[in-house]
Structure 1
Amino acid sequence: MRIFGRVRQRPSTDWRLATNRAFSLIDDGRYEDAGALLTRAADLEPWLSESWFNLALLHKFRHDWEQARAAGLRAVALLERDAGAPDWWNVGIAATALQDWPLARRAWQAYGLRVPGNGHGSLAASGEPLGMNLGGAAVRLSPDGEAEVVWGRRLDPARIEVLNIPLPSSGRRWGEVVLHDGAPRGERTTAASGSPGGRPSVYPVFDEIELWAPSSVPTWVVLIEAATQADRDALERLAADAGYAAEDWSSSVRLLCRACSESRMPSEEGDGLALHDPHDHSVPGHPGPLGHTAPDGLWSPERECGLAAPGSLVRGLLDGWVADSPDTRDWRDLEEVC
């Protein structure tokens, strides 16, 4: 793990030994032991911004946001440059986790980002969320477990609203907002859509840190019979028109090894915000794509779909979808899974 070097003079040997040992312990998940060493390093070199940056980083790993904010503010107070330091990014993440919106605005602006409502107007003074609407991106849910990459909408530099319907193994739901780390780990590319030179769009993949805002909308899995792709699309439109979501997991989910998931991977459809942009489930090895299409590429009518809708609505939605074309549509085996 890299330790950023921006020092006025070379730190002491004891500081370097304690810090290097601490990051080895962090890599092993031994946060308490690492914290004792980084606290000792800060006592040895309190004038060094890295001492407090490293402590802020540790507290971020532990999700101790009060301590991360305090250490991060100590770090930025000792900086020698005005903008762009990663210390400010960590402060922004901690402030966002704590919903300290004035400090979050200050941190993102100090890093060099344009932030709405950062003047003397009512928005800056009210303490409301930033609402920067930074476009599409992907986020890796449960990055240390059964990782799954889903598409979402970036609300600000540290939060993404999930737009796919995650698989139940992730423990996440459609519409939830997750706090994410600042450094992308992987990229997804989508087909060019009228861009100059026909170049594809590239979207970063961020790692989830924790759930920021839960969703009350449950996830269901259902087996549908859809004679054509248009029949499947009609279900997704019907759910979207009702303010919820349906997603054909048979075609939208692919299995990737972790190395592929963390590299630049193509996403065959959409613009990073569309329903049919594939999301990824990372597993050991290199299994290739998962789907229920026939080997010759023909459409397979039986589809496994995820639905995000209240229990009071989900059966009526499916029955209404079938009623619109009973000869080409059917459903069975509805189950709430998350």
Structure 2
Amino acid sequence: MSGRVWSGFKKKRAPRQVWGDWQAANEASDVESAEKYASELLEVAPEVFFSWFEAGLLSKARGNWPESAQRNQRALELFTEREAAEFGGASPAAWNLGIAATALGDWATARTAWTAYGLAGFDDGAGPIDDDCGMAPVRINPDRASLPHQLLPAAGETEVVWCWRRSPAHAVISSVPMPESGHRFRDVLLHDGEPQGTRLYEGREVSVFNELERLEASEIPTWQAQITGAEQSDLQVLADTLGRRGLGVDEWSGIRMMCSDCSHGSPREGHDHAAPASDAFVLGLAGHESDLDQLIDEWRRSRPTVEVVSLELLW
């Protein structure tokens, strides 16, 4: 009888070996190997929090939300006092589970995840989360990955837009994005929770979050208007008027085009990015033509010096 060992009997490798290969794959940006070693890690260390958490991070980076939810759910179940001490009490797996559940529209699981993370007010009911979580800037089409092997959304050019945050992981665009971004006013975005730079809001610095995915695409058209003879106070009245009707307006003539380094930090630091000079205000508008025409006409009646030089549909 031959002493050859049947190849079907494969000896499991030590967790330390698999962990080393996993880290090497991350450093080498080798996603195929990373996926293989993540699965192997779950086999050789199935009762370890970090096995499921790291595997869940990879699923998150690749946008595989069902797998991310399953892996982070298991990581949350394995979260012990030892890990709690390391992470300051809150499980990062709970946060990533909340993101994955939001992407899937699994609001019951999302509520459970936010509560497990230590956030109050999400434990009632199982319906969609649509809370007022304040204003937040979100970087659409982010130009830098924040996780190894991350798939970045690529609808167009990178831009930081202001949003109405409706939960810890999703927000609605309140700005009028530039058409080159491929986004519109009232797009619904899934966003990450790790700060990637800051912006000023009402005199205080707030964190910028990166878009992970567009959950709902808006069909509200984007327009560009050039207006002369107006003051900033006039533009504020126009913004208030349009806002009450659910329409959008942004002063594009004041947009500061920043380099990537400044965008990911604080725009107040480093070199300046001056807006181009212009004799007219350039406005980005969001709405249907009939609504915009009516409200702009009403606004102009009491402002004889204001002239709308052009109103152009962009997309």
TM-score interval for Structure 1 and Structure 2 normalised by the shorter chain: 0.7 to 0.9
User: Counterpart in 2 of 1:233?
Assistant: 236
Q: Which SS does the other structure have where 2:196 is aligned?
A: coil
**Aligned residue number for residue 10 of structure 2:** none
Contact 2:188 2:216 in 1 (8 A): yes
What does residue 4 of structure 2 align with? none
Residue 232 (structure 1) shift: 2.9
In the comparison of the two structures, how many residue pairs are matched?
A: 284
**Secondary structure at the counterpart of residue 38 of structure 1:** helix
1-structure distance, mates of 2:33, 2:20? 14
1:37 is matched with 37
Of the candidates 57, 81, 105, which is equivalent to residue 99 of structure 1? 105
Deviation for aligned residue 1:286: 5.8
Whole-Å separation in 1 of the counterparts to 2:222 and 2:172: 16
Instruction: Check conservation: 1:226, 1:232, Cα contact below 8 A.
Output: no
The answer to whether the 8 Å contact 1:257/1:287 transfers is no
Whether the 8 Å CA contact 2:196–2:209 is kept in 1: the answer is yes
Aligned twin of 2:90:
84
Other-structure match for 1:132? 131
Contact kept in structure 2, 1:18 and 1:40, CA below 8 Å: no
Q: Which letter does structure 2 place at the counterpart of 1:91?
A: L
Structure 1 residue 316: Cα displacement: 3.4
Paired amino acid for 1:139? V
Give the 3 Å change call, closer, same or farther, for CA 189–232 of structure 1 in structure 2: closer
**Residue of structure 2 equivalent to 1:219:** 222
State the TM-score, normalizing by the size of structure 2: 0.81
User: Superposed, which structure 2 residues align to 1:104-183 within 5 Å?
Assistant: 104-116=110-122, 118=123, 123-124=124-125, 127-144=126-143, 146-183=157-194
Does residue 63 (structure 1) correspond to residue 63 (structure 2)? The answer is yes
Counterpart of 1:18, as a letter, is D
1:229-268, aligned counterparts within 5 Å? 229-251=232-254, 253-265=255-267
TM-superposed CA distance for 1:111, in Å, is 0.9
| Secondary structure of residue in 2 paired with 1:304 | strand
Task: Using the TM superposition, give the Cα deviation of residue 266 of structure 1 relative to its aligned residue in structure 2, in angstroms.
Answer: 5.0
For the Cα contact (< 8 Å) 1:22–1:38, is it kept in 2?
A: no
1:57 Cα deviation after fit: 1.2
- Single out whichever of 240-249 and 328-337 deviates more from structure 2: 328-337
The verdict on how the C-alpha distance between 1:131 and 1:232 changes in structure 2, with shifts beyond 3 A counting, is closer
**Whole-Å Cα distance in 1 between the matches of residues 95 and 56 of structure 2?**
11
Picking from 7, 13, 16, the partner of 2:19 is 16
Instruction: Give the % identical residues.
Output: 33
Contact 2:197 2:207 in 1 (8 A): yes
Distance 2:195 2:96 in 1: 14
Structure 1: how far apart are the matches of 2:103 and 2:228? 43
CA positional deviation for 1:23: 1.7
| Structure 1 runs of 4+ with >6 Å offset | none
Q: Which residue of 1 aligns with 2:212?
A: 209
> What displacement does 1:20 show?
0.6
Q: What one-letter code is carried by the residue in structure 2 that aligns with 1:204?
A: S
**Residue number in structure 2 paired with 1:186:** 197
> Using CA pairs below 8 Å that are at least 6 residues apart, which structure has the higher relative contact order?
1
Structure 2 Cα separation of the partners of residues 142 and 67 of structure 1: 23
**Would you say the 8 A contact 2:18–2:37 is kept in 1?**
no
Match of 2:277 among 243, 267, 292: 292
Alpha-carbon displacement from aligned partner over 1:206-235 (angstroms, at most 9, x marks no partner): 111011222221111122223433333343
Q: Deviations over 1:130-164 (max 9, x none)?
A: 23322122111111263211122221110122111
Structure-2 separation of matches of 1:166 and 1:215: 12
Q: For residue 151 of structure 1, what is the amino acid of its counterpart?
A: W
Distance between the aligned counterparts of 2:47 and 2:179, measured in 1? Answer: 47
Query: 5+ unaligned residues in a row in structure 2: which ranges?
Result: 1-13, 144-153
Conserved? CA contact 1:256–1:286, under 8 Å: no
C-alpha distance in 2 between matches for 1:132 and 1:321 = 32
Instruction: Pick closer, same or farther for the CA change 1:87–1:14 going to 2, 3 Å.
Output: same
Q: For the residues of structure 2 that align with 1:233 and 1:226, how far apart are their CA atoms? A: 14
| One-letter code aligned to 1:155 | R
Say if 1:18 and 1:38, in contact at 8 Å, map to a contact too: no
Query: Which whole-Å deviations, capped at 9, do the CAs of 1:243-300 have from their partners, x for residues lacking one?
Result: 212222112x111122222223459xxxxxxxxxxxxxxxxx966132435xxxxxx3
Q: CA RMSD in A?
A: 2.4
Contact 1:152 1:163 in 2 (8 A): yes
Task: Quote the Cα distance in structure 1 between the aligned partners of 2:56 and 2:201.
Answer: 35
The residue number in structure 2 matching 1:315 is 293
TM-score normalized by the length of structure 1? 0.76
Aligned equivalents of 2:20, 2:241: Cα separation in 1? 61
| Corresponding residue for residue 328 of structure 1 | 305
Unaligned runs of 5+ residues in structure 1 are 1-10, 192-199, 268-284, 294-299
